[in-house]
Amino acid sequence: ELENEIDNLNTKLESKKVIFKNAGSLADAALQLSGIFSVAQEAADIYLSNIKDLKEKEEKEIENLNYRLINLENNLDSSIDTIGNMREDEARAREQLEEIKVIMRKAKTKIHEYNLPVIPSIYATELKEAADAVREIVKELEQKPITIEILNTRVDTARDLSLKVLKRSEEINRCAHLAEMAIVYGNRFRPVSSEVNRQLNYSENLYYKGEYKKSLELTANMLEKIEPGIYNKLVRKYIND
């Protein structure tokens, strides 16, 4: 019986060792599983982080694409507006060219309105300058493509020169007409004074040389000494006629 009890005790002891041994294996397994879960969690975190970064990157790229698209649309609108403005400027330049031609024709008509003995050289010079400016407009309109800034400059220059010619023709016509009126009016005083006769002869020489303004000033000053206010009377008559 004693031996049986000893055998039972040994059997129970071995059973306890197995339990403790198995407990150690389970602990290790638990630890191993814990490590696996940790790695898996880390991998999941990395995956989620990459997904987040990728999403942010894609959103940023989409934002950049939208920004570029907006810029392209704005540039396109600007280009369309520019082309429209260029066409409007070109059309306006052609209209102004026709207006300048009308001004030039008026100047030519005005200079021949009065039967001038001589057309002053200053008129011919300014007329040539205006005509050259008009040709520059035509030349610029034939360019492909047209440089609007240059075209506008050409138009402004030609318009100013053509108006200058028109003003010159009106001034020449006015001075010539008044100079002749003053000389004709002064002829009545020739028999009265040799000095008046001399000055009128000089005024006539200036007139036939095309120096109408000088002729007018000389005759008008002389007549004012003889008959004050006569020049204004002549001017009124010229305007009324």
Rounded to two decimals, what is the model's pTM? Answer: 0.63
3-state secondary structure the chain: CHHHHHHHHHHHHHHHHHHHHHHHHHHHHHHHHHHHHHHHHHHHHHHHHHHHHHHHHHHHHHHHHHHHHHHHHHHHHHHHHHHHHHHHHHHHHHHHHHHHHHHHHHHHHHHCCCCCCCCCHHHHHHHHHHHHHHHHHHHHHCCCCCCHHHHHHHHHHHHHHHHHHHHHHHHHHHHHHHHHHHHHHHHHHCCCCHHHHHHHHHHHHHHHCCCHHHHHHHHHHHHHHHCCCHHHHHHHHHHHC
What mean pLDDT is reported for the chain? 80
Q: Residues 143-178: pLDDT tens digits?
A: 888 888 899 999 999 999 999 999 999 999 999 999
The tens digit of pLDDT for each residue in 94-141 reads: 999 999 999 999 999 999 988 899 999 999 999 999 999 999 999 998
